[in-house]
Amino acid sequence: MDSPAFKAPVDPKEQPILDKLLYTRDQLFLVKQDKTKYVKSQDVVGYYEEICKQVEVLNEIRTSKPLEQNRLDTVLDDCLQLISLFFMTVGKCNEAPAAYSLVSTINRLLDHLKEAAFFLEKDIIGIDQQLTKIEESVELGRPHHHDVILTLLEARIATCRETLKELRQMLAPIPEDLMPLHEKLVSILRSLSGCNTRSKFPTHEVQDFQKQLQEISNEFQGRSVPDPHQNRSIEERLQEYANKIRSASISGTNQMPGREIIGDLLERNTLWSHIITTRQGKLDPRFHEQFAHLNSIRIQLEKLQLTQAWSLRETDLFSFQRKLNKVDEGRVHGNFVDDKGQPAELYEQRTLLYLLRRSYAFIYQMLTSSEPVSEALQPIYNQLSTLRKCLVEVKRSGGVSSARELYPYSMKLNSLDNMRHDGKFVVNGDIPEGQATVTALLHECFDMAYDLRNDAEQEKEAGRDTPNEDDDDEEERPVELKKPTTTPSQRADGADTGLTRTVSVK
């Protein structure tokens, strides 16, 4: 278990709570590891109730010492993270307990954005909207969930809101007309940081970015400006870069003029491009192991995101979160340190921070894109999603010329629809969460197929108005689709879709 290390509980009354939480965590971890069967909602709710019960007992013991932190808090956080991911796994994404893991990830992501001191306005807008959705879930869940969990979530959301407010203040002085330029500079700086972590340093790509920066500089200054850092040593550049970061971090409190913020960001880009060109991804040997560890996590998360819909069980993210949390909490005053406790130089600091922040960003993206569908229904949901994409593409490309072209789609839709019993999808005798979502998607696919068939028939009827000499030579009529007696949206009882075919031979 890659959880951060903390001292054991001092109060003997806390030991029984720690023992029970350790047992619960182990059980959750065993369920997480078992991929041979689907997780059931009732099992998750049982573990959730047990965790809430222990939190209530702990709160009574710590009435006089609310700021106490020891190993019990770490194990409790593990349990809450796991139960949150299990809620997502069984399709309860919109319930309050499911938000714990996401809020924790948002909190770290906001801290890293503030530390990096460069971000886009759309970054904080997106996070703000996500926090609003979580707040709505908390309010809706108030009658159904324990106050201890809701209070904990509200406290974490409030912390995120405070950091979000600071980030807004950092962008506030930038006028609207300069915001596109700010976005472009942030995009280039992120791209440069990505180039810096590649296995083979992309010299030509970095040179292209440097040309863009020179063009921006000439346009921003209104005249051709020579690069002031061309003849500086690497140490001077690193020191100047550190000054620019410090300046960007306090821009929200001292209300630095917008043009000055843009000018500093432009200079940061120029400095960083020269620094990474000089170093070309070569870190201090003391930090090779940390770099390899973080880079490996980032690559795994990137691959996982590409196959998320088909292979991700949300609980799989727990191991990555624990590893990243251990690295993040192992920093000293925000600095990455070596085995002897010596801090890294600026180049290593910013490189490692980029990998850490990027990894948390992947987790955030996967958590926010999780659908309210149980993993038991996920294969059906994925097939329907693919069918929908195909039907949308068919419609966009002009539809079909004849109803027979819809046979593959209608046959697949009928086979999926036949899996329902009394209007519900049943898996191993259980009715998984997400029935409404999957059924709505099924009906949408039926509706699209029905519309495409009708369009094809109308075009065919319109074509019959024009005489065709070849019509008399036909030996066989084309295969036709039976006209439906009910619309797909009326298919709650499994009635005929009208998408079955009848063959008429002349």
Q: pLDDT per residue over 129-170, tens digit each?
A: 999 999 999 999 888 898 989 999 999 999 999 999 999 998
Q: Stretch 243-267: mean pLDDT, rounded?
A: 70
The pair of three-digit structure tokens given for residue 98, joined into one six-digit string: 């499911």
Q: Letter for the amino acid at 482?
A: K
pLDDT value for 179: 92
93-110 burial by CB neighbour count: b if 16+ within 10 A, else e? bbbbbbbbbbbbbbbbbb
Comparing C-alpha atoms, which of 288, 304, 119, 281 is closest to residue 201? 281
Q: What is the pLDDT of residues 363-422, one digit of tens each?
A: 999 999 888 899 889 999 999 999 999 999 999 988 888 888 888 999 999 999 999 988
pTM metric for this prediction: 0.82
Helix (H, G, I), strand (E, B) or coil at 335: strand
Burial of 69 (0-12, 13-18, 19+ CB in 10 A): exposed
What is the C-alpha to C-alpha distance for residues 309 and 84, in angstroms, rounded to an integer? 19
* Interatomic CA distance for residues 127 and 124, integer angstroms: 5
As a whole number, mean pLDDT of residues 301-305 equals 90
Other Cβ atoms closer than 10 A to 410: 22
pLDDT at 59: 87
Q: Which residue has the higher pLDDT, 471 or 345?
A: 345
Please determine, for residue 128, whether its predicted confidence score (pLDDT) is greater than 70: yes
For residue 383, the model assigns a pLDDT of 92
Q: 481: which strand partners?
A: 501
Q: Beta-carbon neighbour count of residue 285 at 10 Å?
A: 8
The C-alpha atoms of residue 279 and residue 285 are separated, in whole angstroms, by: 13
Q: Is the pLDDT higher at 235 or at 5? A: 235
Residues in the chain: 506
Token pair of 426, please? 């049943």
Nearest to 394 by CA among 380, 379, 408: 408
Strand segments (E) across 360-423:
420-421
Q: How far apart, in whole angstroms, are the C-alpha atoms of residue 302 and residue 361?
A: 10
> What's residue 312's pLDDT?
79
Number of H helices, E strands in the chain: 18, 4
Lowest mean pLDDT of 90-104, 263-277, 459-473, name the range.
459-473
Highest mean pLDDT among 94-98, 217-221, 396-400 belongs to 94-98
Tens of pLDDT, residue by residue over 330-363, are 999 889 999 998 999 889 999 999 999 999 999 9
User: Minimal CA–CA distance to 183: which of 117, 243, 130, 262?
Assistant: 262
pLDDT score at 117: 86
pLDDT at 488: 40
